[in-house]
Structure 1
Amino acid sequence: MAHTELTVGDLIDLLSACDRSAPVRQAMNPFFPMAHHLAQVVQCMDETGQTAVYLAEGRDADTQLGHLPPEAAVALAWHSPVQPPPRRPRRTAGGA
């Protein structure tokens, strides 16, 4: 199966359906999902000589926002939806 990379055009198309005033964040590490601020967009040549665009996180200490919201991890298919455990009937004070 060939791996196809997301292009700038693909990204623009996907972002065009989003709220223009929403902040852009980067989700990293599917095994320990974290959210990061994006600070820069840079276009340059990659190691193969192909033009590439890089989205970079900030350098500030607060650039990592913390854990990725579970809803985002599920939407990215990094985590399965979690169901709450089934409720058990409560015991009464008499032990019944």
Structure 2
Amino acid sequence: MTSPEMTVGGLIDLLSACDRSAPVRQAMNPFFPMAHRLDQVVESVDETGRKVVYLAEGRDKDAQLGHLPPEVAVALTWQGPVQAPPCRPRRRAVGN
């Protein structure tokens, strides 16, 4: 049986390509994208008895870091790329 969920092994594979000294952040809420500091990793079991690993944000008041950078929200497909509106000719004041 294949699972649509990411596994610890899959996460390790993805992380192995990253800079080991980079801080780990969690992107949350696609409708109001925010970045959070991770603080804990907790292993438990779900209602079916399967092992599950939870990544949790910190409890301190600055665990939520603010808005997710737009390029991250676009890469996650939570937002579309934003383009500047096309240039239009400037309007002139009447009488000039």
Q: CA RMSD in A?
A: 1.9
2:43 & 2:54 partners in 1: Cα distance? 6
Aligned counterpart, 2:73: 73
SS of residue matched to 1:21: coil
Percent identity between matched residues is: 75
Distance change in 2, residues 1:56/1:95 (3 Å): farther
Distance 1:26 1:18 in 2: 15
Q: Which runs of 4+ in 1 moved over 3 A?
A: 89-96
Match of 1:28?
Answer: 28
Pairwise mapping of residues 85-96 of structure 1 onto structure 2 (< 5 A)? 85-90=85-90
How many aligned residue pairs are there?
95
Farther off after superposition, 35-44 or 84-93:
84-93
- Residues 86/3 of structure 1: CA separation in 2 closer, same or farther (3 Å cut): farther
CA distance in structure 2 between the aligned counterparts of 1:23 and 1:74, rounded to whole angstroms: 20
TM (norm. structure 2) is: 0.88
User: Which string of whole-angstrom CA distances, capped at 9 and with x for unpartnered residues, describes residues 44-82 of structure 1?
Assistant: 112221111000000001110011110000000110011
Instruction: Report the Cα distance in structure 2 between the residues aligned to 1:95 and 1:48, rounded to whole angstroms.
Output: 78
Aligned amino acid, residue 60 of structure 1:
D
Structure 2, gaps ≥5 residues long? none
Q: Deviations over 1:17-64 (max 9, x none)?
A: 111111110000001111000000011112221111000000001110
After TM superposition, the structure 1 = structure 2 runs for residues 1-96 of structure 1, keeping only pairs within 5 Å, are 4-90=4-90
C-alpha displacement of 1:90: 3.7
**What letter corresponds to residue 18 of structure 2 in structure 1?**
C
Q: Secondary structure of 1:35's match?
A: strand
Distance 1:3 1:79, change over 3 A: farther
